[in-house]
Amino acid sequence: MFIAALTSMHVYCHLFWLIERIRKCDDILQP
């Protein structure tokens, strides 16, 4: 149970990091 919680937390952290990177890329692409 503890490992499953850790894994889901890691996945959410990774997703959040991806979204932040995509948003920054959008900011750079927009004039």
Ordered by start, the domain boundaries in the chain are 1-31
The tally of CA atoms less than 13 A away on the side-chain side of residue 12 is 6
Distance CA 27, CA 12 (A): 23
User: Is the pTM of the predicted complex or chain greater than 0.75?
Assistant: no
pLDDT tens for the chain, residues 1 to 31: 788 888 999 999 999 999 999 888 877 776 6
Tokens standing for residue 30: 């927009």
Residue 15 to residues 7, 9, 21, 30, Cα–Cα distance (Å): 12, 10, 10, 23
